[in-house]
Amino acid sequence: MGAVTPGLVCGHHHLYSALARGMPAPAKTPKTFLEILEQVWWRIDVALDLDMLRAAARLGALEALECGTTAIIDHHESPHVIDGSLQVIADACAEVGVRVNTTYGVTDRWQDDGSVFGDDWSTPPLRMTDAARRGLEECEQFIAGGGSGFVGVHAPFTCSDETLEAAAGLAKDLGVGVHVHVAEGSVDAPAGRRLENLAADDWLLVHCVHLDRPLPGTIAHNPRSNMNNAVGYAQPTRFSNPIVLGTDGIGADMLEEFRLAYVRLREFDVTSTPSTVWQWLENSYAFFPDAAGDRVTWTYDTADDPWSVAFTPGMRALDVVRNDGIVLLRDGVAQLVDAGEVRAHAHEQAARLFALL
C-alpha cells in the first residue's frame, strides 16, 4: 500500500499555457528572457479566446489532479477576452474537482491605440491603460462575486506607477493580496524599489530572481521555469519570507518540482536538505487550508518522506479523495470528468490557437 499525504498545492501556475506545448516555433530564435516573453507568451495570450481558455484550464486542472495536486494558484492574461475570463477558469477547475485561486494579471503593455508599448523597457509605461483598468475590474468582479483570487499584476516593468498603485489599493479594499511577477529577469530589476512602499504581507511575489531588497509577502519559487528562461537562480533562502513552490505554467507535478528545487538548492548549497524544500510545499496550505485535509494515495510507501521523494522519480498518485469525501481520482483515473474528452477538446482548441499563431 502506498503512502497517504495531503493534497499538493501549486503556488504559481498559468493554466492557459496548457495549450502552448507543440506551438509553432517563433520566426527567429529568442535570445533573451524579454524576447521569450515577446515572441512566445505575449503572442499566445493575445490569441486566446474563451473556448481555448476553458480547454486549457480543464486540461491543466486534470494534469494537476493526476499528479496529486488538488489546489492551484493561477495567474491569467488574455487581453482580447478579459471580462469573464476568471470565471471560465474557476468553472473549469470545479469540473475536475481541483481548487483554484485565480487572478487577472494587469499590464500597460497594450496601449489604448492597440499598439504594444515600446521595445525598450528600460522605462516603464507612464499611464494606466484601458486594458489595465479592465483587468482590475475583472479581478474586482470575480472576487466580489465570491471567487477565490488575488488582484493580479503582470510585472512592474510593464506597468505604470499609476497601475501598480491602483492594484495595491484595490487589493487592500477587497482584503486580498497582489499576485505579481517580481524581478524575474534583469529587465525588471527596479521592481523592488517600485514596490517597496506598496507590498504587504498578503502579497504573492513570484520569482524574485533579481530582487535587490526584501519586500513583505510570500515568495513563489519556480526553479524549472527560471532555468528554462536562463534568468538565474533565485536563491530564495537569502530572504526570510515564507516560500512556496510554483511551476510557472509547466504542469503542476509538485513532487517533480520539489525534486528539481531540491537539487538546484543543493547545487547552490551542498549542506541543504530536502526538508527545507518540503517546507515550501507545506507553506502553501496557508492559501488552501482545506487541501491539507485532502488525501492522496501514492504508488510508493515512502511518498511522505522528503529524503525518499527527493531520490525517487516517477512516484504517481493513485487515489485522490477531497476533504469533503468526494473521490476525484481512482487508480490514476479522474472521476468527475472523462480525461479522454478533456484531452481531445484541448487538442482541438490548441489546433485553433496554433492556426492563429
Residues in contact with Zn ion by the rule CB under 5 A: 248
Q: How far apart are CA 318 and CA 4, in angstroms?
A: 10
Q: How far apart are CA 206 and CA 334, in angstroms?
A: 30
CB closer to Zn ion, 63 vs 248: 248
CB closer to Zn ion, 248 vs 257: 248
CB closer to Zn ion, 66 vs 248: 248
Residue carrying the nine cell digits 543543493: 266
Rounded to a whole number of angstroms, the minimum distance from the CB of residue 153 to Zn ion is 11
**Three cell numbers, residue 222:** 519556480
Rounded to a whole number of angstroms, the minimum distance from the CB of residue 1 to Zn ion is 37
Kindly report the backbone phi and psi dihedral angles of residue 219, in degrees, each rounded to the nearest multiple of 5, phi listed first: -95, 125
Rounded to a whole number of angstroms, the minimum distance from the CB of residue 12 to Zn ion is 6
CB closer to Zn ion, 123 vs 228: 228
Rounded to a whole number of angstroms, the minimum distance from the CB of residue 210 to Zn ion is 15
Residue carrying the nine cell digits 495549450: 19
**Number of residue whose CB is nearest Zn ion:** 248
CB closer to Zn ion, 188 vs 248: 248
Q: How far apart are CA 146 and CA 77, in angstroms?
A: 20
Residues 6+ apart with CB under 8 A from 77: 16, 45, 104, 105, 107, 154
Alpha-carbon separation of residue 74 from 71, 153, 264, 270, 354 (angstroms): 10, 12, 24, 32, 23
Rounded to a whole number of angstroms, the minimum distance from the CB of residue 249 to Zn ion is 6
